[in-house]
Each structure stands twice: as C-alpha cells, then as structure tokens.
A and B are shown apart, each in its own frame.
Chain A
Amino acid sequence: MLIAVAAIRMRDLFGVVILFGVYSLLTAVLFMDLDAVDVAFTEAAVGAGVTTVLLLSSLRLTRRWEAPPRHSPLLSLLVVGVTGAALVYATLDAPLLGDPSSPVHKHVAPRYLQEAAGEVGMPNIVTAVLASYRGYDTFGETLVIFTAGLAVLLLLGFGEETKPRIEPASMHEQVVLKTVVKLIIPLILLYALYVQFHGDFGAGGGFQAGVIFATGFILYEMVFGAENARGVMPAPLLPRLAALGVLLYGGVGIFSMLAGKPFLDYSALSADPVHGQHLGVLLVELGVGITVFSIVLSIFYALSGRKRRHD
C-alpha cells in the first residue's frame, strides 16, 4: 500500500512506472504466500515484466513529468472515501479467507479437487478448471485481450514503415549487450514453449507463455532495432495470428457442437473422454497463447512505431 501511495503522489512518471513494476512484483509474492502459484506467475510475467516495458514505451510518446493538477482533489477524495468505506463494510459480511466452512469450500472446490483427476486427467487442477470446467470464461478472457489489442491498433496503428529513424549511434557499439541478448533470446523462446505445454503438470499455461514469448521479440526489437524486428515478425501478420488464436479456441467449441455435445465439451474430441479433455485443453491453451503473444507484440509495435515526442 505504501508503494501505491507513493506512486500516486509522485510527479515523475518514469518513477511511477518503476513503482508499478515493484508493486506488481510484491503482489506476485503475496500470491505466492497464498499458495496461488499460477496466478503469481502470471502476475509476475505480466505486471512486473511486460506492463513495465509497455508503459515505458508509451512514456516516450508523452511528457515525463506530470502536470500539476488544476482542480482540488477534495471532491474526488470524498467520493472515493465513501465508496471505499461502503466496500469495506460489505466485506465484513464475507467469509474469512480460507475458511473451510464457507460455501465455496463446501460445494464447488471439493468437487473440482476430487473429480478433476478422473474427469480431466491432469495434475494441475488450476489449468483443469481454467481450460475445461470454466473454459467458457477463459474464452471470454481471450476475446477481451483480442478486443483490447484491436482497440490499440485502431487508435495507434503500426507506425510508419521502417526506415531507420533516429537510430542512436551507440547501439552499434553495444557488443556486450548484443552478444548476451543473442544468447538469451532463444532460451526465452524455449522457456515460453516449455511453459505453454507444461501447463498441464506445473504452473503455466497459455497466458504466461504468450507473454514470455512476446517478451523475447520485444527484447529483440529493443536491442537490434525496429527494422530487424519487423523483418523477423512482420507487423501485418500479428492481427491475423491473434484472430487465429481466437478461431482455434472457438473452433474447438464448434467442433464439439458439431459432434453432438455442448459447446466446448472436450470429451467429444476423442473416443476416450479423458483423452479428449487433454486434447481440448492443449488446443485451447495454444489458442490462448497465440492470441496473447500476438496482441502483446502488436501493442508494443504500435507504441514503438510512433515518432518520439520532441519536448
């Protein structure tokens, strides 16, 4: 909370972005403390990793120092205070965190914990719930990410075609950085693939993997320049990849419907229903990973493609 207050009070937006990164990292540690490994992983990858980079690259399009506020904050403070007090009062009625006699832990959670091994057949119950039991919600999440990326692209576009802009001469002399990054990027991409396909057994899954995969490409663009990066992964390809991911996810659902089962019922994918669940989760997570990767990279392309604001 100290960090949040500090981030609000600071005027230096660069410092605010770094503070947000620290805040996300601390939240990830908090999630680890609550034994929520998948969530902590996603929070660390997205919040402390990619969001910091995206915010910094959008910061170069605007001023670094926040203008002083032109109106008094008292009215907003009052509204926020009243709303916050009402919310806190409402939480007094909620069951305590981890209380075993709360309704969540008596009906829904034990059923998932006991039946997941038999019905879905994978050790990671979080992935089982995310991709199979609550697959429809995850489909919605993927669509939200896709829509957000579309909105950014509609607003910003991909930027001018890549002539080398004001390429700082020092980047050519960065031998150390270029060598180490050349070694690290394949490992990053390999790790992203590992996280993607290992989500059944450990922490992982499509969201984290997509973000990490995009991070590899972002690192490449930052060190080797936009020209090289867009030669490797052309900008027009990305929206099509994003659509492909969503199509893959929806396609699995439609296939299940065509086979006579409800939408997104993976047991229709194979003769053995548990095998069908495995296959379904694999395809669906792949769709999520592809969409997340292409949207994150699109947003970065859109932000880095604009001319720097000359202050």
Chain B
Amino acid sequence: MNLLLEWTSAVFLLTGGFLCITGGVGLLRMPDFFSRVHAAGVTETLAAPLLLCGLMLRMEWSLEIVKVLMILVFILATNPTATQAMAKATLTGGQRPLVADPEAREGGPSSKS
C-alpha cells in the first residue's frame, strides 16, 4: 500500500514537473501573445494540482492535507480566470491573434466574455 502510494505520488510529481517545463518552453517559443498565454495557462493549471496531489499522497491524514486541498482548489479557480482576464484585456486593447489566413478573419464572432 505504501509502495503504491509512493509510486503514484512519484508519477504525479514527475508529470507535474514535466508539464511545468513544457509550459515554460511554450511561454518562450510561441510566436504570439495569445498562444503564449494559452500555453502557460493550460499547462500550469494542470501542473500545479498534479504537484500538489503528489505532495498530498506523501502526507499523513491530518489537517494539513485539507489545507493543501484548499490551495489546490484555489489554484484551479484562479489560474484560468487570470488567463482569461489577460487574454480579454489584450483583445480589448486591440491586439488580434496571429492566424494563418488573415483574409478569412474579419467578420468573426464579437468578443463576448
């Protein structure tokens, strides 16, 4: 049982770490603001809870686990909101996403939240 917990926690931690690294790579290498924000937001919103789950599996049953769980829920709630707010602010500021075929872009759906 303990071995199972240890291996699961190790898998979670490694996956979370890998996702963080790929998020960082995406942040640096993507050509456009919107794709960068998307890369960082999606990968980090998954990576942080995975890392926290990996840590939770290593802790004994105590109040600390509930606290870490609360942090996890908080990150799940706020990270996508922050990403959306950033993207929306940029869109309002006038930047448009980089697309492959600019002619087909005009007349797209109006920006609703």
- Chain A interfacial positions (CB closer than 8 Å to B): 168, 170, 173-177, 180-181, 183-184, 187
Q: Are A175 and B77 interface neighbours, CB within 8 A?
A: no
Q: How far is the CA of A78 from the CA of B89 in the complex (A)?
A: 45
Q: How far is the CA of A174 from the CA of B78 in the complex (A)?
A: 14
Count of interface residues, chain B, beta-carbon cutoff 8 Å = 12
Nearest chain A CB to B74 CB, angstrom units: 8
Q: Are B78 and A184 interface neighbours, CB within 8 A?
A: yes
Q: A-side binding surface: helix, strand, loop or mixed?
A: helix
- Chain B interfacial positions (CB closer than 8 Å to A): 74, 77-78, 81, 84-85, 88-89, 92, 111-113
The answer to whether residues A176 and B92 also contact, given A183-B77, A184-B77, A184-B78 and a CB cut-off of 8 A, is no
The answer to whether residues A176 and B113 also contact, given A168-B92, A170-B92 and a CB cut-off of 8 A, is yes
The 8 A-B pairs of least Cβ separation, nearest first, read: A170-B92, A175-B113, A180-B81, A177-B85, A176-B113, A176-B84, A173-B113, A174-B113
CB neighbours (8 Å) of B74 from chain A are 184, 187
Q: Are B77 and A180 interface neighbours, CB within 8 A?
A: yes
Nearest chain A CB to B63 CB, angstrom units: 10
Q: Nearest residue in A to B84 (C-beta to C-beta)?
A: A176
Nearest chain B CB to A192 CB, angstrom units: 14
CB neighbours (8 Å) of B81 from chain A are 176-177, 180-181
Q: How far is the CA of A180 from the CA of B113 in the complex (A)?
A: 13
CB neighbours (8 Å) of B77 from chain A are 180, 183-184
The answer to whether residues A170 and B112 also contact, given A176-B81, A180-B77, A180-B81 and a CB cut-off of 8 A, is no
